[in-house]
Amino acid sequence: LESLDVEAIRSEFPILEREFDGQQVVYLDNAATTQTPDAVVDAMSDYYRESNANIHRGIHHLSQEASEAYEVAHDRVAEFIGAEGREEVIFTKNTTESENLVAYAWGLNELQAGDRIVLTEMEHHASLVTWQQIGKRTGADVEYIRIDEDGRLDVDHARELIDDDAAIVSAVHVSNTLGTVNPVSELVDIAHEHDALAFIDGAQAVPNRPVDVEAIDADFYAFSGHKMAGPTGIGVLYGKEHLLEAMEPYLYGGGMIRKVTFEETTWGDLPWKFEPGTPPIAEAVGLHAAIDWLEEIGMDRIRSHEEEIARYAYERLDAEGDVEIYGPEPGPDRGGLVSFNLESVHAHDLTSIMNDHTVAVRAGDHCTQPLHDKLGVPASTRASFYVYNTREEVDTLVAALDDARQLFA
């Protein structure tokens, strides 16, 4: 694989040139939100300047143009993730809403006492809290697939928990805290052997590696636009057509119906059945542009760039001697992020020192509180990388550790 021209890529992101106190920002908070290239900002501003209107096939020209752009964005997403077509691609607000959509529309209606919901110990709160609450409301049990000492899933434990009582398995594709890349195809196969459904949270996978939902055979797959060079305010729920067909909508309103009388309503076609009200139209245009932009670079090259930067960061931090790093060693089952703690310095203090050097990293539990409990720490500092990050930026991060040692140790 030819490596990326990172300098050329960086020139498409004016925000990366911003300075605070005379120092250029080092943006290493990409697992929270990635930056947006000019191509995406331009696509959205062109839309607002030239095509803005409400959709649902209004008669006038502008509405037709906006409708077309919105519908085609679904096709583009379907093609990008290997879905069959727009029927399988529902636009939501974010990964969290995609998770809730299935929990409400499928979980509340189908689950009952005696059923089991199987999660992993590394689930993001988006899935953990959602299914935990659906468990309480339906009487279904919630069980968690253990992680081993290296932060990998214990697949034997998965086989124990996913038996004929299991109704749904919800697993994160790439952990936003440990960086672990989970064997999702294997989990999906185990689920299907027991007639359980499989929901994969791909928020940290789709932005950074090629993903093919049909190859994984996931029943549902979710991700967010704002973590893949796209805008905030739009997320995706992929679902197999026959499952979505059978599911009741959980949000009601205009734009999703076939026929309404004072007594009854029948639902419109997929995916519109799950998209009532005025949807995120400009955001869909932006997501479309982001996918074009990512594919122009190539998802394989993005993955290898991130793996390389993450490996460099891991090795540099590890060599410091007083840094504890969570998750697997660098390799094909680790994504482009590193969470760590500096001995005897709280993650929030460390992150604030990093900010003094204009290094943007994140401190906290990264919406994985139970996982941090298991790791035995209240918080960690997370550096997460994207296409525009460089080794020099990692060097700046590592250099800042010295200040933290001097101030706090």
Q: Which residues form the catalytic set?
A: 367
Binding residues for ligand PMP, total number by CB under 6 A: 14
Subset of residues 328 to 367 that bind ligand PMP, contact rule: CB under 6 A:
367
Helices (H), 139-201: 155-161, 184-193
Closest CA to 335 of 214, 216, 112, 184: 184
231 or 271: CB nearest ligand PMP? 231
Subset of residues 43 to 82 that bind ligand PMP, contact rule: CB under 6 A:
none
User: For residue 332, is the peptide bond before it cis, meaning its omega torsion is within 30 degrees of 0?
Assistant: no
Task: Give me the 278-317 binding string for ligand PMP, x by CB under 6 A, dash otherwise.
Answer: ----------------------------------------
Q: Which of 69, 103, 126, 191 binds ligand PMP (CB under 6 A)?
A: 126
180 or 358: CB nearest ligand PMP? 180
234 or 398: CB nearest ligand PMP? 234
Burial class (CB in 10 A: 0-12, 13-18, 19+), 262: exposed
The two most distant CA atoms of the chain are separated, in Å, by 72
Cβ atoms of 324 and 380 within 8 Å: the answer is no
- CA 176/CA 204 separation, integer angstroms: 6
63 or 232: CB nearest ligand PMP? 232
201 binds ligand PMP (CB under 6 A): yes
Burial class (CB in 10 A: 0-12, 13-18, 19+), 364: middle
Q: Which residue has the tokens 């697997």?
A: 328
36 binds ligand PMP (CB under 6 A): no
96 binds ligand PMP (CB under 6 A): yes
325 binds ligand PMP (CB under 6 A): no
Strand pairing report for 235-239 and 220-224 = antiparallel
Q: Which of 120, 180, 204, 208 binds ligand PMP (CB under 6 A)?
A: 204
- CA 239/CA 213 separation, integer angstroms: 9
Q: Which of 176, 182, 341, 384 binds ligand PMP (CB under 6 A)?
A: 176
Residues near ligand PMP (CB under 6 A) are: 31, 94-96, 124, 126, 172, 176, 201, 203-204, 224, 235, 367
